[in-house]
Amino acid sequence: MLACCALVLAGIGVLAGLDWRTLRLGRGEWETLGCSVFFTGQILWLERPRYAANRPAHATTVMFAVLALVSAPLALGRAAGAGQLAAAFVGSPEILLLLLALTGFCTLATFSLMNHWQKYLEATEAGLIYCIEPVWTSLMSLCLPGWLAMWTGIAYANEVPTLKLLVGGGLITLANAGLQFSPRAVTPVR
């Protein structure tokens, strides 16, 4: 498991373009690390046996309702007014559809799956498996922006495969494969 953790850290470092000599992080990396602290907390709480009997659909609904209640005042405070905020959502049907797809498929569906299946994994194993997300995102960025650009009329080019993408993604994928082929010591909590 430690070797898999090291592979994931190295892979994420390669994908992020971390300067290994100075280990200097930019604003985006610091924000990502801050978010990972909260995500780690969520993973650890889901591992607790007392939450194994929770109904995942209800837990996910509450999670998103609380997020909406916290985010709404922040969004209203940043906008010039409620009209500006509403215009951002209804100004373009394509953008609204993209927002709904991102919210529904990429967020709601994935957190629903996570809340349902994570009780069968150790927190460390779950966290390492979730590290495949940057690899998946990188693969999607090779074709999805061009498709969306044609549909929405927004100039947005596809990413191009780079050595950094192949090495970083390869290390993370290798770590996940290592996890799946290692013997399991934990039995599912029911």
Query: What is the reported pLDDT for 65?
Result: 92
Q: How far is Cα 164 from Cα 186, in angstroms, rounded to an integer?
A: 35
pLDDT in tens, 100-150: 888 888 888 888 888 888 888 888 888 878 877 777 887 888 888 888 888
Q: How far is Cα 148 from Cα 133, in angstroms, rounded to an integer?
A: 20
**Can you tell me which residue has the tokens 């998103």?**
64
pLDDT in tens, 174-187: 887 887 777 665 55
Query: What is the reported pLDDT for 160?
Result: 87
Return the exposure string of 149-184: e unless at least 16 CB atoms fall within 10 Å of the residue's CB, then b: eeeeeeeeeebeeeeebeebbebbbbbbeebeeeee
Listed by start position, the domains of the chain span 2-181
**Are residues 12 and 131 in contact, defined by beta-carbon separation less than 8 angstroms?**
yes
**Are residues 175 and 14 in contact, defined by beta-carbon separation less than 8 angstroms?**
no
End-to-end CA distance of the chain: 24
Per the confidence metrics, is the pTM higher than 0.75?
no
pLDDT bracket for residue 188 (50, 70, 90): low
pLDDT bracket for residue 54 (50, 70, 90): confident
